[in-house]
Chains A and B, each alone.
Chain A
Amino acid sequence: MDEKINLKRRIADFKALDPIEKNRLLKEFLINNSLYILIIAAIIGIQIYQPRFLSLTSIINILTLSAANLPIALGIAGCIILTGTDLSAGRIVGLTACVAASLLQASGYANKMFPQLDTFPIWLVLIIVIAIGALIGFINGFCTAKFKLHPFIVTLATQLITYGVLLMYLMNGTNNGQSISGLDSKYTSFISGSIIRFGSVAIPNLIFYSLGITVIMWFIWNKTAFGKNMFAVGSNPEAANVSGVNVTLTIIAVFVLAGMMYGITGFIEAARIGSNTASTGANYELDAIAACVIGGVSFVGGIGKIRGVITGVVLLRIIFVGLTFLGIDSNLQYVIKGLIILVACALDMRKYLIKR
């Protein structure tokens, strides 16, 4: 309601300006939103070149891939709001994916990691991987908050540790470092199967799980004292302390929550990929950080919105899929990804620079 009135007033204000001012504001608007404008232009371009790009199957594909990556981005976004980062995210996804897969291999499968064990109930495995994520997140948060280390350093270390643990885990039983496959069909259909169909196209369940998680995260960010405290700590930790915010606990909680999100991503990815190795999850954190930055979660600290994270994840995915559709060399795709991140960060910083 208020926003609507505000918008009307702003339009009226804009109309009242003289042409020079109008031009200046228009230019500002174009520069500040140039990333979105470029991406929309790119989508139109790809669509003209490859009409299948925006077909229903393709859109569902983009949404599925986005949904799989959304929880990890939502987790990392919290760390960025605290002016931190999390380099261990991808490896935690890898570890939890492999753990989930190994516990949910079909009972008759020949190369089962734990042949003597029955297939676990799905809910129990979900809880186990969330707990693993939370534990590593706790270590990240504890070291950051208590030893006053920069999260970059802490998560650089835990990333290595987690990877080592993952490699050791894959040596279990007769597995000997092989990939873990032969997943129980109940598990794969729980994630990738579909209850709802859209015409001839099936919508994978994981899209709805991701939506549910997004709603929960929106609630945590916007409607809880913890959420408000997170933004306050990200904006000015000293003032937060004086104001009675438990800064240590807030930092730890943000990292624990992030770890839980990585666990969920691992759980989803294990079933979606089907065959999990030590490289599962590698570099996921970089895509997630890029998505957050594109979505306006700022390294300045204390700034970010859930809808920004969603926008970032989906846009990044559209670009990746689009580049593949255009048949662009995968090596060149890295170059383009890098450029997009640079432009996004530069535009983001521009908003917080003091104009003179």
Chain B
Amino acid sequence: MSEKNDALLEMKGISKEFPNVKALDNVSITVRRGTVHALMGENGAGKSTLMKCLFGIYSYDSGEIFLDGSPVSFKTPKEALENGVAMVHQELNQALKRSVMDNMWLGRYPKALGVFTSEKKMYEDTMAIFDRLGLKIDPKRIMSTMPVSQRQMAEIAKAVSYDAKIIVLDEPTSSLSDSEVEQLFEIIQKLKANGCGIIYISHKMEEILRISDDVTVMRDGKHIATKPASELDMNTIIKLMVGRELSNRFPEKTNKVGETVLEVVGLSAAHNHVSDVSFNVKSGEIVGVAGLDGSGRTELLEALFGISERKSGKIYLSGKEIKNRNPRESISNGFALLTEERRKNGIFAILDILENTVISNIKSYRSYYLSNGKMRSDTDRMIKAMRIKTPNSSTKIRSLSGGNQQKVILGRWLLTEPEILLLDEPTRGIDVGAKYEIYQLIIELASKGKAVIMVSSEMPELLGICSRILVMSGGRLAGELSAEEATQEEIMKLATSNI
């Protein structure tokens, strides 16, 4: 098929400068009709900026864009959409309290008699698109009642409803479970068959190698290489991305497993499906928790930490029963929880690094009044220990990258000198280099005798740094595997056993 080699979208020599930063430096990519073009690079490499230039969110300083051979330059996202360029953002921008179809036709409701919106036509048109994509979603369902994965599918369907020729997917699988990823890939295949060009931004190598036809790697705002996916392997991509060889994706496990410190017996949550979970963790041990989205992994940690109410079950710390009725009590018992959604319940965006670091430990700085000097020296110590890249401790945390924000929160918890660390997706949305550093920090902590429980959706990561893996399924513990012997297939089998 010669048509397949047609250039559907060409971006030529795009440059974009922000005050003091050259965000894009003469970047060119070509997306062929009916193919998936993966865009890779570490955080801050310029992938999102490039896409925002295409989509009319940013204006670019120089360069040209051709869509189907004719030059275009979109001033607004609306203009881009109307010309067949759609983008599904990593953070879904949806009106959560409205229905699926309201979201779908937002800003262009079909009209009846010129003034009234036609619910009937909206419903039918939405169903037609869902049928085409093989989606089973009720168009009248309220957005906020659906899991993230379905909301994402709805967003892709919206892109299709614009008859988009180019669809940009920004980290589409970051909150999807494996089976949901399969569904997404099926949809992508259908879109390909219809002649769409897909630009696929992701950190996940396995996915990229599976789904994409071409791969473009960017680094520091520059175009590094574009190659057919068939000619690439994981190590080559990593090498291109970081500009150096990363011989190992995971640091060496130097931690020594000791005595049992935490024992959980028959834990059930009062208001969700987590039920009858029992396990133990030893000092110096990193225990992974695997499972699909909605399997109750996050809920398990929340029940342990006292954020959500427990119905029954006992928690023993070094043989003594503890209650952990609320986060304050848990913290004083030596627990720490790194939450899954940094922006929602991790960082204080408008406050500075110091305030973000000392908040959990604030009472220890109090004699008659809070001592600034002690807080500053502790913060500086953590900045150094965590290798946080920041000018100083009074920088606002929101101006840091995701990886550095995560390190600040880790630092916050280390100041409370915890014995049990609960880590919920500690490397989500963090680039390869920073991930390695987070792994190192986790292993260092375990080496100091701390017990770590780590929830993750990335199975290689669990296999890479944990010693045991607990697999959750449908709110229950489906099984326990030794990381040395476990395979991704075994984990998957357990994860789907209770559904």
Contact = CB atoms under 8 A, between A and B. Distances in A.
Contacts of B370: 222-225, 227-228
Which of B58, B339, B359: most chain A CB closer than 10 A? Answer: B359
Interface string A234-266: 011011111111100000000000000000000
A356 interface: yes
A76 interface: no
Given A219-B369, A228-B370, A241-B345, A300 B350 contact: yes
Interface in B398-437: 412, 416
A231 B327 CA distance: 19
Contacts of B346: 239, 242
Given A238-B345, A303-B350, A224 B359 contact: no
A231 B345 contact: no
B327 A242 contact: yes
Contacts of B307: 241-242
Contact of B366 (A222, A224, A241, A244): A224
Interface string B346-361: 1111110001001110
Which of A223, A239, A243, A356: most chain B CB closer than 10 A? Answer: A243
A21 interface: yes
Interface in B320-359: 327-328, 330-331, 337, 339, 344-351, 355, 358-359
Q: Secondary structure at chain A's binding surface: helix, strand, loop or mixed? A: helix
Contact of B412 (A231, A235, A236, A243): A243
Contact of A228 (B58, B337, B350, B355): B355
A213 to B, nearest CB: 17
A302 interface: yes
A225 B363 contact: yes
A243 B413 CA distance: 8
Interface residues of A, number: 28
A50 B285 CA distance: 78
A350 to B, nearest CB: 15
A235 B19 contact: no
Interface residues of B, number: 31
B455 to A, nearest CB: 15
Contacts of B363: 225
A231 B337 CA distance: 21
A302 B366 contact: no
Nearest to A246: B328
B327 A239 contact: no
A243 B306 CA distance: 12
Given A236-B345, A300-B350, A245 B57 contact: no
Given A219-B369, A228-B359, A244 B348 contact: no
A352 to B, nearest CB: 8
B362 A229 contact: yes
B122 to A, nearest CB: 32
Interface string A211-225: 000000001001111
A232 interface: yes
A353 to B, nearest CB: 13
Interface in B76-126: none
B351 A235 contact: yes
Contacts of A352: 350
A21 B19 contact: yes
Given A228-B355, A240-B359, A356-B58, A235 B327 contact: no
A241 B348 contact: no
A302 B328 contact: no
A239 B362 contact: no
Given A243-B327, A246-B328, A235 B339 contact: no
Contacts of A219: 369
Contact of A231 (B339, B355, B366, B369): B355
21 contacts: A222-B370, A223-B369, A224-B369, A225-B363, A225-B365, A225-B366, A228-B358, A228-B370, A231-B348, A235-B350, A235-B351, A238-B345, A239-B339, A239-B344, A239-B348, A240-B359, A241-B345, A242-B307, A301-B350, A302-B348, A302-B351
Interface of A: 21, 219, 222-225, 227-229, 231-232, 235-236, 238-246, 300-303, 352, 356
Interface of B: 19, 57-58, 305, 307, 327-328, 330-331, 337, 339, 344-351, 355, 358-360, 362-363, 365-366, 369-370, 412, 416
Given A243-B412, A244-B327, A244-B331, 19 more contacts: A21-B19, A223-B370, A224-B370, A228-B370, A229-B359, A231-B351, A231-B355, A232-B351, A232-B355, A235-B351, A239-B345, A239-B348, A241-B307, A242-B327, A243-B359, A244-B328, A301-B350, A352-B350, A356-B58
- The 8 A-B pairs at the shortest CB distance, nearest first, are namely A238-B345, A223-B369, A235-B348, A244-B331, A243-B360, A225-B362, A244-B328, A239-B345
